Amino acid sequence: MKKAYFCIDGFTFKRISDFYKYEHRRRSRLNIAAMETFLRYEIERRFEWKSGIDHLEVEKHFYHPNESPQRIHYRLEVENAILKFERALTDSGYDIHYAQYGNDFSPKPNESIYPDWLIAKQLRKYDAFAILTTQGQYTQLLRQTMMCEVPTILIGWDAACVNSSGEPSLWKTDKALIGYARAYCPLERILNKPETGHPFADLMFERVSLPRYPLNRRYG
């Protein structure tokens, strides 16, 4: 059985999810449970591996941009939202890594992904490394992984959106990241499709209950 190590940069994930909740016609957040399904689909499509649960194990990690509610005091509604999402992550099989020194007013990407992955690949053999992020600070991570000859999948996202000041802005995946990835999966190509445009177009959003498709089924 092959094994993949999958990291989600929570800073990027939140920005994408907020966009589809508040700025896009869908008015719905991303479904965290669908991310593994999407990854398996892309691994089979890009690497031509069998991606069913009998053939591919996916070790999943979510790197939160904020500190744990157990370490820092949040407003009640913020704490409840964090804990609700924490339950969704746990139910979907993710290990949760809160930021060591987060900033509730100006969140930033969690810096623990790099050292955690370096340790993990020394302790166990992985056949692929996958990361959902748009942030250039992870370029060195992908470069080192490429040098170790571990196939890398980068899930990125580009969009014309609104920044924190309410001004038009263009959010893009860092070009250096893309350059070090063996396979680049632009998430917006799926998320921006109409509901009938792709099997995942509807699956990726919260209002659709899972499982809608078995994980060992091939699409496309």
Q: How confident is the model at residue 214 (pLDDT cuts 50, 70, 90)?
A: very low
Q: What is the CATH number for 58?
A: 3.40.50.1010
Residue 104 pLDDT: 59
pLDDT at 208 over 50: no
Residue 24 pLDDT: 92
Residue 197 pLDDT: 64
Three-state secondary structure string covering 144-161: HHHHCCCCEEEEECCEEE
Q: How confident is the model at residue 220 (pLDDT cuts 50, 70, 90)?
A: very low
Domain that holds residue 24: 2-203
Domain contains 102? yes
Percentage of residues of the chain with pLDDT beyond 70: 90
Domain contains 219? no
Residue bearing the bigger pLDDT, 91 or 78: 91
Beta carbons of 65 and 78 less than 8 angstroms apart: no
Domain contains 212? no
Domain contains 119? yes
Mind listing the pLDDT tens digit for each residue in 104-127? 566 789 989 999 998 998 888 999
Domain contains 141? yes
Residue 217 pLDDT: 34
What number is the average pLDDT over the span 25-39? 93
Tell me how far apart the alpha carbons of residues 34 and 204 are, in angstroms, rounded to a whole number: 6
pLDDT at 8 over 60: yes
Residue 94 pLDDT: 97
Q: What single letter denotes the amino acid at residue 188?
A: E
The closest alpha carbon to 137, from 92, 187, 173, belongs to 173
Residue 196 pLDDT: 60
Q: Indicate whether this model's pTM tops 0.85.
A: yes
| Three-state DSSP state, 78 | helix
pLDDT at 91 over 60: yes
H/E element, 6: strand 2-9
Domain contains 39? yes
Mind listing the pLDDT tens digit for each residue in 122-152? 888 999 999 999 999 999 999 999 999 999 9
Count of domains observed in the chain: 1
Domain contains 217? no
The closest alpha carbon to 121, from 178, 181, 59, 177, belongs to 59
